[in-house]
């Protein structure tokens, strides 16, 4: 039985990856310090003999007993309000955390896949973004703590590949959504749906003309699974090229939820990227992958999930 370590395994994406690898017949070890994650995301796996949970900060030395075939490094605060609240931890998990994972991978002779991000392109001057674009990141702006941690993470991962011959994979993830996002993580989809459910107006930052491209979580997980098992070591974008302005997105959420509330304008955060859409040619060619779930379908599933939560979840603070 293959054994996989998933850091950030109690988070939104990490927990879906745990589910997928369990389904594929792997022994799964989830490692998480729960700083932005939630143990409830993986509680349903606790009874399985093929699932283990380590409560651990991966920025500190990692010890795992037994063999490992794969390490997926997903630990990191991921939403702007999270990484702005805990900027140093964000830099540490993207640097010390991946260094620990790479060292562990050498000892175990495991393959490493890292969760990189469309944020490595910063506020992109090339549109749509392909993997050969080097990006436009402000290293000393507020988002720099996340963007530069992820850029460093790519660099050190590639260095271990080049200099130590380690098997590595790099996925650049574009905005992904689905069940198990935290209603209060500040990202636009949970923000809008939470506001609609609480009967508040939906807060559009800036004039709402900035664009994003939203990928449903099952599509992302499929792309990651294929990339891990491929032999391709360079970065691969995984995302849904369906691009929409944030204002139009707000209108879609108003329609979906049937709320009587309206869109209101709030200040645009510093360095907020103006446009973002993945060029997925590489994923199509190398992995035979493209997204299957339409935004309408994915949003419906995600809305049903948020509606099913106990009411107190709607009013919880971020931490």
- To ligand NAD, the closest distance from the beta carbon of 237 in angstroms equals 11
- To ligand NAD, the closest distance from the beta carbon of 50 in angstroms equals 20
- To ligand NAD, the closest distance from the beta carbon of 33 in angstroms equals 4
CA dihedral 226, 229, 233, 235 (to 10 degrees): 20
* Cβ contact 47:70 at 8 Å: no
Q: Give the nearer residue to ligand UDP in terms of CB position, either 59 or 210.
A: 210
| 102-141 positions binding ligand NAD, by CB under 6 A | 115, 117
Beta bridge partners of 203: 264
- To ligand UDP, the closest distance from the beta carbon of 239 in angstroms equals 11
Q: Give the nearer residue to ligand NAD in terms of CB position, either 7 or 257.
A: 7
Q: Confirm or reject binding of residue 176 to ligand NAD (CB under 6 A).
A: yes
Rounded alpha-carbon distances, angstroms, from residue 195 to 13, 176, 267, 268, 309? 23, 19, 17, 18, 14
Binding partner selected for residue 74 from ligand UDP, ligand NAD, none, CB under the kind-specific 5 to 8 Å limit: ligand NAD
Q: Give the nearer residue to ligand UDP in terms of CB position, either 53 or 83.
A: 83
Q: Give the nearer residue to ligand UDP in terms of CB position, either 161 or 276.
A: 276
Binding partner selected for residue 13 from ligand UDP, ligand NAD, none, CB under the kind-specific 5 to 8 Å limit: ligand NAD
- To ligand NAD, the closest distance from the beta carbon of 71 in angstroms equals 13
* Cβ contact 107:160 at 8 Å: no
Q: Give the nearer residue to ligand UDP in terms of CB position, either 21 or 121.
A: 121
Binding partner selected for residue 91 from ligand UDP, ligand NAD, none, CB under the kind-specific 5 to 8 Å limit: none
CA dihedral 145, 135, 250, 289 (to 10 degrees): -110
> Could you tell me which stretch among 61-69, 70-78, 131-139, 189-197 binds ligand NAD (CB under 6 A)?
70-78
Of 70, 83, 146, 303, which is the active-site residue?
146
Establish whether 146 is a catalytic residue: yes
Binding partner selected for residue 58 from ligand UDP, ligand NAD, none, CB under the kind-specific 5 to 8 Å limit: ligand NAD
Number of chain residues interacting with ligand NAD (CB under 6 A) = 28
Q: Which residues bind ligand UDP (CB under 6 A)?
A: 79-80, 175, 187-188, 191, 203-205, 210, 212, 246, 269, 272
Binding partner selected for residue 210 from ligand UDP, ligand NAD, none, CB under the kind-specific 5 to 8 Å limit: ligand UDP
Sole binder of ligand NAD in the list 14, 179, 194, 235 (CB under 6 A): 14
Residues 6+ apart with CB under 8 A from 93: 58, 59, 75, 76, 77, 149
Annotated catalytic residues are 146
Interaction site with ligand NAD (CB under 6 A): 7-8, 10-14, 32-37, 57-59, 74-78, 93, 97, 115, 117, 173, 175-176
């Amino acid at each position: 039985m293959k054994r996989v370590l998933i850091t950030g395994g109690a988070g939104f994406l990490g927990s879906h990856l745990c589910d997928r690898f369990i389904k594929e017949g792997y022994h799964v070890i989830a490692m998480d310090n729960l700083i932005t994650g939630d143990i409830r995301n993986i509680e349903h796996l606790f009874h399985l003999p093929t699932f283990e949970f380590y409560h651990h900060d991966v920025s500190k030395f990692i010890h795992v007993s037994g063999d490992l075939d794969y390490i997926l490094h997903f630990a990191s605060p991921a939403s702007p309000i999270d990484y702005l609240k805990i900027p140093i931890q964000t830099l540490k998990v993207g640097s010390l955390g991946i260094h620990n994972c790479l060292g562990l991978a050498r000892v175990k002779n495991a393959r490493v896949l890292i969760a990189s991000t469309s944020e490595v392109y910063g506020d992109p001057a090339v549109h749509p973004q392909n993997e050969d674009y080097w990006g436009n990141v402000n290293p000393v702006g507020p988002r720099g703590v996340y963007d530069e941690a992820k850029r460093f993470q790519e660099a050190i991962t590639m260095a271990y590949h080049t200099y130590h011959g380690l098997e590595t994979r790099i996925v650049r993830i574009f905005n992904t959504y689905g069940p198990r996002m935290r209603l209060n993580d500040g990202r636009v989809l949970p923000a809008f749906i939470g506001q609609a459910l609480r009967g508040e107006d939906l807060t559009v930052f800036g004039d709402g003309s900035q664009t994003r491209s939203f990928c449903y979580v099952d599509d992302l997980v499929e792309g990651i699974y294929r990339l891990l098992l491929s032999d391709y070591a360079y970065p691969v974008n995984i995302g849904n090229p369906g691009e929409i302005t944030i204002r139009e997105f707000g209108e879609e959420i108003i329609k979906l939820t049937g709320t009587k509330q309206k869109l209101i304008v709030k200040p645009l955060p510093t360095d907020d990227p103006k446009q973002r859409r993945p060029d997925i040619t590489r994923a199509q060619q190398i992995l035979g992958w493209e997204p299957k779930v339409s935004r309408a379908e994915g949003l419906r599933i995600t809305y049903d999930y948020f509606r099913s939560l106990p009411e107190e979840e709607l009013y919880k603070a971020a931490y």
